[in-house]
Amino acid sequence: MGQQETFGLLRVAAASPRLRVADCATNAQNIIDLMAQAEGEGVALLVFPELCLTGYTCGDLFQQQALQQAALAALAQVRDATSDQFSGVAVVGLPVIVQGQLFNTAAVLYRGQILGIVPKSFLPNYKEFYERRWFAPGPMASRKEIELFGQSIPFGHDLLFGAAHWDAFTFGVEICEDLWIPQPPSLRQALEGATVLVNLSASNEVIGKAAYRRQLVTSQAARCLAAYVYSSCNTDESTTDVVFSGHCMIAENGVLLAESQRFRRESSLIVTDVDLQRLQGERVQLGSFGDTAVFHRAAEPLRRIRFLWEARSAPARLARTVEAHPFVPRGVQDLRERCEEIFHIQVAGLGKRLLHLNKPTVAIGVSGGLDSTLALLVACRTADEIGMERARIQGVTMPGFGTTHRTRRNALTLMKLLGVSCREIDIRQLCLEELRALGHRPFGIDLAGLPVEEFSERIRRLPVEQQHDLTFENVQARMRTSLLMNTAFVIGTGDLSELALGWATYNGDHISMYNPNVSIPKTLVRFLVAWAAEHEFTGAAQATLQAIVETPISPELLPTTQTGELVQATEEVIGPYELHDFFLFHFLRYGTAPTKILYFANQAQFDRTYTAEEIRHWLTIFLRRFFANQFKRSCLPDGPKVGSVSLSPRGDWRMPSDADVSDWLRQLAS
């Protein structure tokens, strides 16, 4: 089975078993019970706490031969369970004697074998910790192999463990304090290829420590572009002056995917899927990650312990959330903060440009739709911040053949309420004159001597399937841009989603002198306008903004019905924006293959339910349109990058305009 069929996904778990201090046999059985539970959930890599076979708080009992021997017997018991009760890799903690020195170690177990034993490198010996009293630091070990149970076993702090035939599944081990130092061992492990980092810990609880521990785990996952699996001792470890909580976490590249409830009095197991393919892709994109390896290259590389791994198909249902709207934060507070930050970025970018040009009069086309509303709000806030009168913002609404009463009313009302200069230019007659000059017969209609209203009425009577004429639509878009360009410095309104799909008229609505919306996807534009309505305005302005948020998305280029209602809905033509934004995020942010995008999309919970075939259909449309419309993106005007995904030809996305989409479509069809 190839990596493509797994989609690079690996199911990992962190466990915190019930424990009796110094009762190794009982502890081993508790560990085996959790292994059986993890097997039922399809876990491939399972991490237990530091010294989980003995208990972390044994104190001077660590120097007792009875405990040392019992720990080895317990290790053998757990090792044997990996032959028939758990098919994944398990990592457990225990004390091990090597040539007269006692080490705090992690044993890596798989298929009834001990793959290797990693000693703790950095021992805390301050405040409540006295590990140097019993243990030696890992670097002091004089041997690189030890004999246990008649087997020669790799031993040392310089071990990496990697699956044969799947290089992405490579993991490194560190123990508790190793993470808390300025340069943890996991940094070198990641630079030498580890995509998963595991930490066996016994971190006790004091006020504020959990938050700092969480920050350490997520930050190290981000710094190392890796998954980080952290397991800590159960509350049963609590004794004398220290209390433990069983805090377990799993993070991926700075994102906390799973976290246990602390202070539980029973065993706990947290399970999630980590995306090793994505992590490797991130490392490839971030060239400085590979450059860093040169500066940290040691005289001797880490020893890599290979194990035969039977790759597993991607699960039918992931054990992690796939965000249906990856550009939009889920939490109310997070969304509010995100919107505010984006708005400030837009204002800062536009403000710099206007100040550089000595505060020119600006023009903006206001349609009554989401995009132009957001751009107008940004322009108003920018004018306020740079000391420019709002009256120098020339708001121009240009009703055409498809403009509805609703959007026209909202556009005029909004401009009045915001205090900008307001102009209305009916472009219909101008467009007819241009069409006549071109000798064009839109929809097969002869324009000679035909009044605007009669022309519109004749289009309305056409069957819907005949209401398509690209020249007719483009003339309107370019007419609006021409009028704006001859008015003042033009602020653009088009968004990231439209640019990805090529849903813009070349040298029409895709051209401006500065576009503050250029890297904001459609799904987020709606939330930004809603945020502005809720937090920046009251009264009539707030009501108008809320009405705009609820307006269906449309280019409004085809005549309305007799009652002025919309007949042209964008999403009915090109597909749902929530799907296209999902595709766009994974395609650009991670370089995800089409089959994997399809897999993820079928895992996500969208606003409405889509069949697998619908998702496949719209993904095909997305890919075709994205490749076909690069020529429009190659000449984009300036605009601020606000997130991790941008299509600027000067920065994030440089693609030939004539690239072929065939390989992407073939993969999707397979």
Kindly name the residue from 58, 176, 248, 380 that is annotated as catalytic: 176
Is residue 666 one of the residues assigned to a domain? no
Is residue 403 one of the residues assigned to a domain? yes
Tokens representing 161?
């463990």
CATH number, residue 542: 3.40.50.620
Is residue 63 one of the residues assigned to a domain? yes
Domains: count for the chain = 2
Give the model's pLDDT for residue 1.
36
Q: Which residues of the chain have pLDDT under 50?
A: 1-4
Q: Do 203 and 92 fall within a single domain?
A: yes
Q: What is the DSSP letter of 155?
A: B
Q: Do 166 and 238 fall within a single domain?
A: yes
CATH number, residue 95: 3.60.110.10
Q: Do 131 and 207 fall within a single domain?
A: yes
Q: Do 114 and 216 fall within a single domain?
A: yes
Q: Do 119 and 267 fall within a single domain?
A: yes
Helices (H) and strands (E) in the chain, counts: 22, 19
Q: Do 91 and 229 fall within a single domain?
A: yes
The residue range of the domain holding 255 is 12-308
Is residue 574 one of the residues assigned to a domain? no
- Which of these three, 308, 341, 365, is where a domain ends? 308
Q: Do 125 and 193 fall within a single domain?
A: yes
Tokens representing 340?
């505010």
Give the model's pLDDT for residue 3.
46
Q: Do 302 and 409 fall within a single domain?
A: no
Q: What is the DSSP letter of 629?
A: T
Inter-CA distances, 283 with 3, 219, 593, 651, 653, Å = 17, 16, 16, 18, 17
Q: Do 355 and 282 fall within a single domain?
A: no
Is residue 32 one of the residues assigned to a domain? yes
Q: Do 95 and 239 fall within a single domain?
A: yes
How far separated are the first and last CA of the chain, in Å rounded? 16
Report the length, in residues, of the chain: 670
Give the model's pLDDT for residue 321.
94
Q: What is the DSSP letter of 615?
A: H
Task: Please say if 176 is a catalytic residue.
Answer: yes
Q: Do 21 and 154 fall within a single domain?
A: yes
Taking the C-alpha atoms of residue 539 and residue 529, their distance in angstroms, rounded to an integer, is 15
Is residue 343 one of the residues assigned to a domain? yes
Give the model's pLDDT for residue 555.
65
Q: What is the per-residue pLDDT across 69-83, written as a single tens digit (0 to 9) for each?
A: 999 999 999 999 999
Contact in structure between 56 and 233 (CB atoms under 8 Å): yes
Is residue 534 one of the residues assigned to a domain? yes
- Which of these three, 565, 596, 617, is where a domain ends? 565
Kindly name the residue from 52, 58, 120, 522 that is annotated as catalytic: 120
**Helix spans in 313-427 (H):** 332-356, 370-386, 405-418
Q: What is the per-residue pLDDT across 544-578, written as a single tens digit (0 to 9) for each?
A: 999 999 888 776 666 666 655 655 567 888 999 99
Is residue 651 one of the residues assigned to a domain? no
Q: Do 244 and 365 fall within a single domain?
A: no
363's enclosing H/E stretch is strand 362-365
- Which of these three, 273, 308, 343, is where a domain ends? 308
Kindly name the residue from 24, 50, 205, 596 that is annotated as catalytic: 50
